[in-house]
């Protein structure tokens, strides 16, 4: 398993996403359903379990889903704004179909072990998702104000795929423990997903089911970080 964090081979390419899609073991997943979408473009073995969360939430809510999956041998962490839909007809089809999207990511920070971060430019949707997660995830702090989210994880870059649908979207950043990737789950004997993982999926699915197209009319009231420090 090789995680190429300092290797700039792809970043220095003219079309990084196209280069990534040409790598062995990289695949795309697309299911078109409703105009509400979920994404996991750092999925597979890169930000583990994010594609499972996005896919399961989409299935339970009748939402659409797009994922880009990387295999077990090579993982390239491209910044989100490098995922250019002009390099992928599959991603372009997804973004043309949905009105709003929740992009699922994983992160790790010793200071934020119990934090779920709701970035992205559609702040109405961020608040809506927060409402459906807070009661289901009492062991976590659901941060949905941009002032509380590290700028590098705020999802404010205009080319970040979570901001490209007609009404924009939300970038949700998840710590390891909620994805079942923490030592706290060592020895877990339950069947299937760990409880926090399951509760998260149900909360996201509930948010998608409860979202009305008219809710998106408020999506243009977007809280932004200053342009010079746009985060991916």
pLDDT at 158: 97
CB atoms < 10 A from the CB of 101, how many? Answer: 31
- Are the CB atoms for 69 and 26 separated by under 8 Å? yes
Per-residue exposure over 10-27, b if at least 16 CB sit within 10 Å of its own CB, e if not: beeeeebbebbbeeeebe
pLDDT classification of 223: cutoffs 50, 70, 90: very low
User: Which of 16-25, 115-124, 223-232 is predicted with the least confidence, judged by mean pLDDT?
Assistant: 223-232
Taking the whole predicted model, whether its pTM rises above 0.85 is answered as yes
175-211 tens-digit pLDDT: 999 998 877 777 777 778 888 999 999 999 999 999 9
d(CA 34, CA 36): 5
d(CA 177, CA 215): 31
């Amino acid at each position: 398993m090789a995680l190429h964090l300092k290797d700039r081979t792809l970043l220095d390419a003219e079309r990084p996403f196209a280069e990534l899609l040409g790598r062995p073991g990289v695949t795309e997943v697309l299911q078109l359903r409703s105009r509400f979408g979920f994404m996991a473009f750092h999925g597979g073995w890169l930000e583990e379990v994010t594609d499972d969360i996005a896919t399961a939430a989409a299935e339970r809510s009748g939402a659409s889903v797009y994922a880009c999956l990387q295999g077990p041998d090579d993982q390239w962490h491209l910044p989100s704004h490098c995922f250019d839909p002009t390099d992928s007809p599959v991603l372009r089809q997804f973004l043309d179909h949905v009105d709003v999207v929740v992009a699922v990511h994983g992160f790790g920070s010793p200071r934020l072990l119990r934090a779920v971060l709701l970035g992205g430019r559609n702040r109405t949707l961020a608040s809506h998702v927060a409402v459906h997660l807070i009661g289901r995830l009492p062991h976590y702090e659901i941060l949905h104000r941009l002032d509380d989210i590290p700028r590098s994880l705020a999802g404010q870059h205009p080319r970040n795929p979570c901001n490209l649908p007609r009404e924009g979207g939300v970038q949700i950043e998840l710590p390891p423990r909620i994805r079942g990737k923490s030592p706290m789950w060592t020895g877990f004997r339950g069947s299937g997903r760990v409880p926090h993982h399951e509760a998260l999926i149900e909360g996201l699915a509930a948010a998608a089911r409860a979202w009305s197209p008219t809710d998106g009319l408020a999506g243009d009231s977007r809280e932004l970080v200053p342009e010079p420090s746009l985060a991916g």
